[in-house]
A and B are shown apart, each in its own frame.
Chain A
């Protein structure tokens, strides 16, 4: 079950938790000590809200591409399908890189990432989630991702001498990927540089980066490159490089989108997921 604790005005904290295909998301804000629990489905869409006594405030359901079915009064809630902000007046949801119309299941602008010749769905520049919205989601309007790859737990405290990051990911076969990844010494300054460039913490860079698409790099020792969209929205990717077993972060940096595409086209990079 997923819940968001909400005291309406000032946001105090936000915690995500994933357990057996269930998401727990806690978002606390203060307004006259009112608490609202938001319940999310597996796609991250808000499907219900309850108050602190467990009384149901509203329920919602969605058509496959995100159009609200019940359209019950959600009070001040603006986060609907896949947890994205929805502008009721426009009928559009904001996905970051693009606006999305859940009524027609299409983005309102072309995919800024461009065509990926290895993915037939990318030839339709307006399509959403590879036209398979139960299996895929599009976290920021630029790349469809298997929905269960999105759920990342709150970082655990690790008493390891080496810097580590905790993730709780699953690969396409549903197998858990290492939940603690050490970072080799020389890679840490590269991660710190990215954090400074994008105004984020190093831990955020790694935890966000590990949610990206994984490619085996035949041109570089069989390492695993994980590409995720740049946090500043510019064309290109943040790349985390893992060792061939995916057990540690061994480098990090940025890549131009065209360089990655060329690597895929020439067979240097092959998708793992």
Chain B
């Protein structure tokens, strides 16, 4: 897979989530393993890794309904994750246009 394809596919999956075509669980199932297993290490820029990698790692902190203790340690519910990823996406768009 060439660089653009991997990057494009990751962005497409994020669009699927933000547009409501996928719920968080569907997004996690598709995005998490694709990023880890299928995107070659040397094909994304450092900035891309910051962005796409942070989303993959954040998925390890998302639960449908975290209990109080889990929330205290930083766990997000689905709605909070959607808010978080929207902010990250905006930041990335700003960087891309700068």
A-to-B contact residues, CB < 8 Å: 184-187, 189-190, 220-221, 223, 234-236, 239, 241, 243, 250-259, 262
Q: How close is B89's CB to chain A, nearest CB, in angstroms?
A: 19
Q: Is the CB of B41 within 8 A of A251?
A: no
Q: Given A184-B69, A185-B70, A220-B74 in contact, is the A259-B60 Cβ separation under 8 Å?
A: no
**Which residue of chain A has the shortest Cβ distance to B75 in the bound complex?**
A186
A186-B63, A189-B63, A253-B57 known; 10 other A-B pairs, CB under 8 Å?
A184-B70, A184-B75, A185-B69, A221-B73, A223-B74, A251-B75, A256-B41, A257-B41, A259-B56, A262-B46
Q: How close is A141's CB to chain B, nearest CB, in angstroms?
A: 19
How many angstroms between the C-alpha atoms of A256 and B39 in the bound complex?
A: 10
Q: Is B67 an interface residue (CB 8 A)?
A: yes
Q: How close is B18's CB to chain A, nearest CB, in angstroms?
A: 22
Q: Is the CB of B60 within 8 A of A258?
A: no
Chain B interface size band reads 20 to 34
Q: Is the CB of B74 within 8 A of A253?
A: no
Residues of B within 8 A of A254 (CB): 36
Q: Is the CB of A259 within 8 A of B73?
A: no
Q: Is the CB of A256 within 8 A of B53?
A: yes
Q: Given A186-B75, A262-B50 in contact, is the A253-B69 Cβ separation under 8 Å?
A: no
Q: Is the CB of B73 within 8 A of A184?
A: yes
Q: Given A252-B60, A262-B49 in contact, is the A187-B70 Cβ separation under 8 Å?
A: yes
Q: Which of B39, B46, B63, B67 has the largest number of chain A CB atoms within 10 A? A: B63
Residues of A within 8 A of B56 (CB): 259
Residues of A within 8 A of B61 (CB): 251
